[in-house]
Chain A
Amino acid sequence: MSWETVIGLEVHAQLATQSKMFCGCPTTFGAPPNSQTCPICQGMPGVLPVVNRRAVEFAVRTALAFGLRVNAACRFARKHYYYPDMPKNFQISQYEEPLAEDGALEIETVAGPRRIGIQRLHLEEDVGKLVHEGSLATAQASLVDYNRSGLPLMETVSRPDIASAEEAAAYLRAFRAVLVALGVCDGNMEEGSLRCDANISLRRPGAAELGTKVEIKNLNSFRNVQHALEYEVRRQAQELEAGRRIVQETRLFDADRGVTRSMRSKEYAHDYRYFPEPDLVPLKLDPAWIDSIRAALPELPRARRQRFVSQYGLPVYDAELLTQSRALADYYEAAVTVHANPKAISNWIMSELLRELGGDDEAALAASRIAPAQLAGLVKLIDDGTISGKIAKDVFTRMLASGDDPAVIVRREGLTQVADAGALGVMVEQAMAANPKAVADFKAGKTVAAKALVGQVMKASGGKANPAMVDRLVQEKLSGM
């Protein structure tokens, strides 16, 4: 019997603002516990929230990128439950009137592109973190770190349009790429900047009704999303085929064992007692401001990838890799503008630069000692015959070490290619005189012997001889004998 999988994803993205959602505290990750807190994010008596305008701007930017309708007015609401990591015992979120609604994200699947609907996007504040001494089981006390309390979160809820675990991972990957390209989230899943919950149910193909759904929490990597959902598809199919019903519940993915475990039953779900946050007035967004955000939207990864193929003639593989990060794509385009050899520059970035940088994000590229124009300059030196590709690798290493322009290095180190036919001719004759066996072998029909002579000349020139010219001269001189 076959089953149709129905998945919807809720993604919480931490917005890359300088300050928290409702107070002025900094948002740096990994600071000492409770060092980035104030009375507001500690929920002390009498304090009030004030909306972070930049967080709203980031949410609007994201909403526009996914084609969501940005509501002219939206409201914050309080969501209540008791937990010590939440200092007010309510979370300021959005409920009935979210910031934006109805958009989509297009993903690539084996069967071609698919459009996954996005139902809504809203803003909320993050909660703190409980720290247990030792393990949860043995700890005598739990400590609370409120550094994360009040960080701005953007929640995006997809429609149940995702049909497989693989598609879910593809959705999350594409989603992350858009957020990173927009500069609204660093996309760092290990640090929790991007968190994903999934709703999944199975039904008979063609059935009109959705099956009972299960929520899976805390899927903190692409891999976990895929593995957890694959497991859950198997588990639910087994249950259904054994004639059992699916219990609506929240399950937690145990990445070590690769299984999902029941966390709590939704049948005992909290009543969150949502009501409009009375300390904040409805957020009315100026249409002119929204238009200005729209006008400043950067090109999104998918569009940029397509353009890299059409404009630069790059293979899809190169285009995909170069557009993984906005910083890298910017770097590439800056280099191509200086010297129009798109494929060669792509090769240098993919095979040399990325290996040295150890990353493709903004920080990694900002730390690069080789500027885009300098890399372009290096390729140009090869293309105009000033240096050989082999010498270029040497120059590249020196560029990394010194940050100097390639032309400066070539001049300083005397690496300019020898392309003088007279001088090279003398070197070829010297090599032939020193290697009579190679000459004899060539005459005996072993044409490959010419390569040994070319190698001798290159070696004698310290790699500076123009290899194509040496090759031609060796052929000429051997044939002329």
Chain B
Amino acid sequence: MADTPRTIHELSAAFTKGAASPVAVAEAYLARIGALDERVGAFLTVTRDAALAAARASEARYRAGAPLSPIDGAPIALKDVFCTAGVRTTCGSKILEHFVPPYDATMVDRLRRAGAVILGKTNMDEFAMGSSTEHSGFQLTRNPWDLTRVPGGSSGGSAAAVAGGLAAGSFGTDTGGSVRQPAAFCGIVGFKPTYGRISRYGLIAFASSLDHVAPFALDIVDAALLLGVTAGHDPLDATSVAAPVPDYVARLAGGVSGLRIGVPDEYFGTGLDPEVERSVRAAIDVLRDLGATVERVSLPSTEYGVATYYIVAPAEASSNLARYDGVKYGLRVPGGRDLIDMVSRTRAAGFGAEVKRRIMLGTYALSTGYYDAYYGQAQKVRTLVRREFEAAFARVDLLAAPTTPGVAFKHGEKADPLAMYMNDVYTIPASMTGLPAVSVPCGFSASGLPIGLQLIGRALDEPTLLRAAHAYEQATPWRGRVPELA
């Protein structure tokens, strides 16, 4: 595939000119998955026939000069958290191993209507709980840059698919950093738009108030395209935003001249890998050189972010996951003494250790007598964090920070749950506030592992965020660097 275009916008241009064929491209991606995914472990389900049928339909549209959208014919992978009609959707869990939804998630439906060629469903931490994809109920996913390392998580399969050239773009979900962190680990773009910008309908809930649908892409233009076709109000999601969807690609030009960029002190403290800090500071210098003004800002509540997140997310998860009881769908362990026993056996067998840990944490946090001290208090901190961001955004247009404290770690390296949780320290605040944030590649460690720069913007101000990320990407050599897998 060395000579075929790899980004969606390049593919689309080639399809339009007749220089490439959606069917041939889909076949090439499927062949690459067949050849390489045994080593990467990105996919849980490959929907070969459906992908080829979609590619043929796309090809016919290009022939007729009527593609559905700028992503028509693009080979896309979906995290197995999105419900796909007629295609098994496991959410990375044994409890949903054989679950086949009768409906598409709204974002899946929008991708189909835009002509996307869906290649399959990707691996993930069970119910999106994790930062390494090691908590999948099914398989390990390996980082294409170093197969002994994790791709990040929870959307590790979707990140590895794009980084490994197994899909041109993909979607994950970002609840506490689950797209931005694996994007940083895999050297690609991970873009979490504003909460409510993309409908959550059909996204299997982990933590409802924190779950964001978010694309992975090889560059910012692709990220803008993927947002453009999936964003917009959905009558099936009461939390989806009604604001009109701008043409994100058209608004990428213009550079960063005159933009004020804030650098939060608290994102450069202890625990930050010096190599990561060096790359991120260098990236901020590039933005300054491009014409942005840079100033220090303070977000003092950052240190409470992880603790707050690990109250709110498990609390909501304990509620959202109550429905998996063996009664209606999914796994049922028979032979119980009575109904409650059947439910207990099913949940004991169906859920993995991390999911059980969070269900217990969340159940505790919502219990009578503890609610005020935990969930109630966490909501107050969340308000505090939101106010601090609002104050910062009164002075600056964007915030720049590392995406993660370190680079991709080895499988099994972070066995202690707390060490794993701390990986999300820089991504959690934008999740809790619902603010748009993007991770763009900003260099490599000495050992050749990618590093991510995180930019955070104002609510619904994706255009400014993407414009800055695009300017940075165009000015630096990191875009489109791919690992040698084959």
Contact = CB atoms under 8 A, between A and B. Distances in A.
Contacts of A279: 205, 208, 238-239
A88 interface: yes
Given A46-B83, A50-B238, A281-B238, A275 B204 contact: no
A275 B105 CA distance: 26
Interface in B160-205: 200-205
B363 A273 contact: yes
Interface residues of B, number: 43
B83 A90 contact: no
B238 A51 contact: yes
A79 to B, nearest CB: 10
A301 B89 CA distance: 54
Given A82-B322, A82-B340, A46 B316 contact: no
Nearest to B340: A82
A39 B339 contact: no
B323 A89 contact: yes
Contact of B329 (A44, A49, A274): A44
A270 to B, nearest CB: 10
Nearest to B362: A273
Nearest to B339: A84
A273 B83 contact: no
Interface stretch (B19-27, B94-102, B461-469): B94-102
B99 A80 contact: no
Contacts of A144: 327-328
Interface string A80-97: 101010011110000000
A44 B320 CA distance: 11
Contacts of B318: 273
A278 interface: yes
B313 to A, nearest CB: 11
Contacts of A45: 83, 89, 91, 96, 99, 101, 204-205, 323, 329
Contact of A278 (B102, B103, B316, B368): B316
Given A48-B236, A51-B238, A281-B239, A275 B328 contact: no
Contact of B238 (A48, A82, A84): A48
A279 B207 CA distance: 10
Contacts of B319: 78, 80, 90, 273, 275
Interface in A37-87: 39, 42-51, 78, 80, 82, 84, 87
A466 to B, nearest CB: 69
A350 interface: no
Contacts of B329: 44-45
Contacts of B375: 275
A364 interface: no
A88 B236 contact: no
Contacts of B91: 45
State the main secondary structure of chain A at its contact with B. Answer: loop
A84 B96 contact: no
A89 B83 contact: no
B235 interface: yes
Contacts of B368: 271, 273
B322 A80 contact: yes
A281 B340 CA distance: 33
Contacts of A460: none
Contacts of A80: 319, 322, 366
Contacts of B205: 45-46, 279
Contacts of A338: none
Nearest to B347: A82
A366 interface: no
Nearest to B205: A46
A95 to B, nearest CB: 11
Contacts of A271: 367-368
A434 interface: no
B94 to A, nearest CB: 14
A39 B85 CA distance: 12
Contacts of B340: 82
Interface string B336-378: 0001100100000000000000000001001110010001000
A275 B235 contact: no
A280 interface: yes
Interface string A4-48: 000000000000000000000000000000000001001111111
Given A46-B202, A46-B204, A279-B239, 5 more contacts: A46-B205, A47-B202, A50-B236, A144-B327, A274-B366
Query: Across chains A and B, which 3 residue pairs bring their CB atoms closest together, nearest first?
Result: A89-B322, A278-B208, A273-B366
Interface of A: 39, 42-51, 78, 80, 82, 84, 87-90, 144, 271, 273-275, 278-281
Interface of B: 82-83, 89, 91, 96, 99, 101-103, 105, 200-205, 207-209, 235-239, 315-316, 318-319, 322-323, 325, 327-329, 339-340, 343, 363, 366-368, 371, 375
